[in-house]
Structure 1
Amino acid sequence: MEVVNNSEVTKELLKTLLEKPDDQSTFEITSLMLSYTPGAFKNYEVISDYVYHLSDDTFDRLKTYFYETKNFDVPSFQNLRGKIDEGLSDDKVYVLDKFERHVKLACSQREFILANVRTANNIVDDIALKSDKTYKELSDTKTKIYSEFIAILGIFTAISFALMGSIQTFGTVFSKVDNPSSALWGLL
């Protein structure tokens, strides 16, 4: 007799439900294996891992499959269960109930996690936009400060040259006070 790994039974049931959603005989066999494999329906970490790693399309199919209860034309967990529950003992029905609750909980958790990730991404995007805007404003302010500094430096340079020129002229005037000439009077 082959020993069955309860994680593999859990994964196999989920895979069967996604690949053959309306195949009653495969569902019956797999769900009975789930019922008879100790702890397989309690294998919440396996169910969660399986649900969390589904593609978005497959995840949507799984959600529809487990949450659809009114439309009997669409394959759903409830519809298949309705066909086989009558022949099952209470403990087997309990196992399927627990399995269904675990899958729905994993679906809800995945949606909650993804919603938080989307919210975090939006916050990060807002922060990135604000930081880009702040960087541009700081860059513009820095450019304006450099321009103003260069203008002020130019003004002081012009004043310095003007003052140096007049000081030199005054120096020339006062150096020739003791010996006035007509050239000196031409400067004045």
Structure 2
Amino acid sequence: MAETITDIELLQYILKSFDIDSPSYKDKTLQTLYINLSIDFKSIDRVDNIANIIYGFSEQEFENLKRFFGLIEEGKEDYFSGFVGEIKDKELKTSRGTLDKLFSEKFSEHIRLCCFQRDFMTKSVRNAEEMANKTLEIANKAMRVYEKVNETIDSSEETAKSAKEIADKASALATLASGNSEKTVTDLNEMKTKIYSEFIGILGIFTAVAFMVMGSLELLNNLFSDISNPTSRVVGYVLVAGGIYLLVLYLLMVSLFVGMKKVTGNGSSYDVNDTMFKVIVSIALILVFIGVIFSGGIVH
């Protein structure tokens, strides 16, 4: 019985195959795998999964991926756009379905973000290592001077002592630089974790906003569908439901912005505008009151 490949394994294989020299890209089998991935994208639609794979690539694999997305040099060809464009133009599909229209744009943004993050952290680590290596080189030169003076010393005891002090200070400086390099790597790892959590939190909040807006439009459409044949009871029902809906929608929006403040802010609470809250509540209560009057048959 054939072994079933997981979504993460499929994602890893596809990311490695984003190479203009890969066999699966040349023989077009990558297109089929990519379409299937887009159909199940909800199960792997997480930035940390993509980042863990890209951060584990070798230097050559990482360069191949950046070249495929046109990230090595400005103005270079973006093979990924052509790859997706060919699938859409030829209307390719598999036994499981067709390419998800919204998948490619979000998928490309995730990959480009991870590539920029890896380049930034790699550059920072290299700078720290270069500083430590230069400091260590100075320490080694000072130690060699001390050893040379110590070998040829006859009546220059004071000179040898000074040279040794210089060497000791240089060695201490090299140790400090190495420690700073390790601290830089640790800080970068913490920054990477913070970036992941904040990015995922913001994506979740705005996804909730998008779903709420779509649901709101559908609810409003259903709410006003009977207005074509208005009666006092129908108008009353619409006003009551509209007032309640307005209040609930405002509270949901405040909750989402409070959540976003906790993700991206400095720990301070979200400042709810008291005046705006009073206005919204007043309008909602007026609509409900008028709606109750209408539905009670006072206005015919």
- What range describes the TM-score normalised by the shorter chain of this pair? 0.5 to 0.7
Counterpart for residue 126 of structure 2 = 118
The structure-2 alpha-carbon separation of the partners of 1:45 and 1:38, relative to structure 1 and needing over 3 Å to count, comes to: same
Shift of 1:64: 0.8
1:14 is aligned with what amino acid?
L
- The yes-or-no answer on 1:5 pairing with 2:6 is yes
The correspondence for 1:76, drawn from 79, 102, 105, is 79
Q: Give 3-state SS (helix, strand or coil) of 1:93's partner.
A: coil
The structure-2 alpha-carbon separation of the partners of 1:22 and 1:93, relative to structure 1 and needing over 3 Å to count, comes to: farther
Counterpart for residue 33 of structure 1 = 36
Unaligned regions of 5+ residues in structure 2, if any?
Answer: 161-300
The structure-2 alpha-carbon separation of the partners of 1:137 and 1:4, relative to structure 1 and needing over 3 Å to count, comes to: closer
Q: Distance in 2 between matches of 1:115 and 1:79?
A: 30
The correspondence for 2:25, drawn from 21, 40, 57, is 21
2:122 is aligned with what amino acid?
L
Q: Distance in 2 between matches of 1:4 and 1:146?
A: 72
The correspondence for 1:127, drawn from 124, 127, 135, is 135
The correspondence for 2:157, drawn from 140, 145, 164, is 145
2:25 is aligned with what amino acid?
P
Q: Distance in 2 between matches of 1:131 and 1:5?
A: 52
Q: Distance in 2 between matches of 1:119 and 1:147?
A: 35
> Given the two structures, how large is their TM-score scaled by the length of structure 2?
0.40
Q: Distance in 1 between matches of 2:159 and 2:63?
A: 59
Q: Is the 8 A contact 2:68 2:79 kept in 1?
A: yes
Counterpart for residue 63 of structure 2 = 60
Q: Is the 8 A contact 2:47 2:110 kept in 1?
A: yes
- The yes-or-no answer on 1:97 pairing with 2:101 is no
Q: Distance in 1 between matches of 2:100 and 2:159?
A: 82
The structure-2 alpha-carbon separation of the partners of 1:41 and 1:76, relative to structure 1 and needing over 3 Å to count, comes to: farther
* Deviation digits for residues 97-133 of structure 1 (CA, Å, limit 9, x no counterpart): 1111122222212211221121111101111022223
Q: Give 3-state SS (helix, strand or coil) of 2:100's partner.
A: helix
The structure-2 alpha-carbon separation of the partners of 1:36 and 1:43, relative to structure 1 and needing over 3 Å to count, comes to: same
1:21 is aligned with what amino acid?
Y
The structure-2 alpha-carbon separation of the partners of 1:128 and 1:10, relative to structure 1 and needing over 3 Å to count, comes to: same
1:16 is aligned with what amino acid?
S
Equivalences for residues 171-182 of structure 1 within 5 A: none
1:145 is aligned with what amino acid?
E
Q: Is the 8 A contact 1:10 1:34 kept in 2?
A: yes
Q: What is the identity percentage for the equivalent residue pairs of Structure 1 and Structure 2?
A: 23
Q: Give 3-state SS (helix, strand or coil) of 1:67's partner.
A: coil
Q: Distance in 2 between matches of 1:133 and 1:93?
A: 62
Q: Distance in 1 between matches of 2:52 and 2:7?
A: 14
> Given the two structures, how large is their TM-score scaled by the length of structure 1?
0.60
Q: Distance in 2 between matches of 1:17 and 1:40?
A: 21
Superposition RMSD on alpha carbons, in Å?
3.5
Q: Distance in 1 between matches of 2:85 and 2:104?
A: 11
Q: Distance in 2 between matches of 1:38 and 1:21?
A: 20
1:17 is aligned with what amino acid?
F
Aligned length: 143
Q: Distance in 1 between matches of 2:11 and 2:57?
A: 15
Unaligned regions of 5+ residues in structure 1, if any?
Answer: 149-188
Q: Is the 8 A contact 1:47 1:103 kept in 2?
A: yes
